[in-house]
C-alpha cells in the first residue's frame, strides 16, 4: 500500500471508520437479545446511538459494567474491553472505529469457549459465515457464532466476578496469539489511515507556522453511499462505508 504525502490525506477525520448498525434482536440463552461479545486489540470503538434503546455490557479486569443506550448517547471504550450489545427495542447505532477498517481486517476476537481459540484455523472455522450461502444460511451461522461467544462471555464474567483473573488473562493471551500473523498488514493500514491523517496535520501546522497556506488550494470534497448494506456483522446488520483510508 502506498503512503500518501502528508498533505494529501482525504479519508475521514482522524482516519476513523464508520458504519450504521442495526443490532440483532435474536434472543440468547440468557434471554437477552443482541450481538456477539468480542474485543478489539488495537482500536477504540465508539457508539453514537440514533434510534431505539438497549445497553452495552462490558468486561475488563476491573469488572463487569452495563451502560444504557438511548438516542443521543455517545459511548466509547478502549482496546481490550470485551463488549456485548443488548437490544431492548430497535437499537440502531452509528459505529465509529479507530484506525479505519482495521476491525474488518481482523482486529476483533470473539469470546468463544477456550477450545475454539486454540489455533487460527479452529477459530476461523468457528466464526466464518458461508460466503456463497443463502441469506438464511448466513443468518444461522451468524447466530451460532453469537451463541458460542455469549457462552464464553458468561464464563469469563462469572470468573472475573468471583475474583479469578486467570480466565480473562488467558483469553487475552489467546486473542493476541490469534492476531499476531496479521499485525504487519494492520501496520500498513494504520500507516495509510490514522498515521497519515496525523502526519498531514503536522505538515499543515508546520506550513502555517512559516506563513505558507498553499495546502488550502488543494481542498477536496468527498461523498459516499454505503458500499454494503445489511451485511451480517458481529453485533447486527451493517451498512458499511469505504472511507478512503
CA distance 204 to 212: 9
Predicted local distance difference test score (pLDDT) of residue 134: 96
E-only strand ranges, 108-154:
109-110
First vs last Cα of the chain: how many Å apart? 11
Q: How far apart are CA 18 and CA 94, in angstroms?
A: 7
pLDDT at residue 106, as a whole number: 87
**Short-list 201, 183, 197, CA closest to 15:** 197
Find cell 458468561 and name the residue: 154
Q: What pLDDT is attached to residue 113?
A: 98
Q: Which fold has domain 13-207+225-237?
A: Jelly Rolls (2.60.120)
pLDDT of residue 7: 62
Residues of the chain with pLDDT under 70: 1-7, 243-245
Q: What is the dihedral sign for C-alpha 66, 70, 76, 81?
A: positive
Tell me the C-alpha distance between 116 and 144, whole Å.
13
pLDDT of residue 4: 43
CB 53, CB 25: distance < 8 Å:
no
Distances from the Cα of 90 to the Cα of 21, 36, 128, angstroms: 11, 16, 26
- Helix (H, G, I), strand (E, B), or coil: what is residue 94? strand
- Give the pLDDT score at 239: 94
Amino acid at each position: 500500500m502506498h503512503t500518501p504525502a502528508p498533505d494529501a490525506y482525504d479519508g475521514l477525520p482522524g482516519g476513523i471508520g464508520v458504519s450504521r448498525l442495526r443490532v440483532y434482536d435474536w434472543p440468547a440463552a440468557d434471554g437477552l437479545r443482541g450481538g456477539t461479545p468480542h474485543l478489539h486489540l488495537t482500536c477504540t470503538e465508539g457508539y453514537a446511538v440514533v434510534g431505539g434503546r438497549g445497553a452495552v455490557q462490558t468486561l475488563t479486569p476491573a469488572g463487569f459494567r452495563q451502560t444504557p443506550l438511548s438516542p443521543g448517547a455517545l459511548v466509547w471504550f478502549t482496546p481490550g474491553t470485551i463488549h456485548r450489545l443488548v437490544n431492548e427495542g430497535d437499537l440502531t447505532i452509528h459505529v465509529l472505529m479507530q484506525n479505519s477498517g482495521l476491525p474488518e481486517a481482523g482486529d476483533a476476537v470473539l469470546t468463544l469457549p477456550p477450545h475454539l481459540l486454540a489455533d487460527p484455523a479452529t477459530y476461523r472455522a468457528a466464526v466464518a459465515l458461508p460466503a456463497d450461502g443463502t441469506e438464511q444460511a448466513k443468518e444461522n451461522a451468524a447466530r451460532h457464532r453469537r451463541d458460542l461467544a455469549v457462552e464464553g462471555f458468561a464464563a469469563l464474567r462469572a470468573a472475573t466476578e468471583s475474583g479469578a483473573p486467570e480466565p480473562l488473562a488467558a483469553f487475552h493471551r489467546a486473542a493476541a496469539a490469534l492476531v499476531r500473523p496479521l499485525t504487519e498488514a494492520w501496520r500498513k493500514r494504520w500507516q495509510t489511515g490514522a498515521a497519515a491523517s496525523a502526519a498531514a496535520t503536522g505538515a499543515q501546522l508546520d506550513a502555517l507556522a512559516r506563513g505558507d497556506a498553499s495546502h488550502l488550494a488543494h481542498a477536496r470534497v468527498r461523498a459516499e453511499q454505503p458500499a454494503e448494506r445489511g451485511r451480517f456483522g458481529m453485533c447486527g446488520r451493517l451498512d458499511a462505508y469505504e472511507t478512503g483510508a
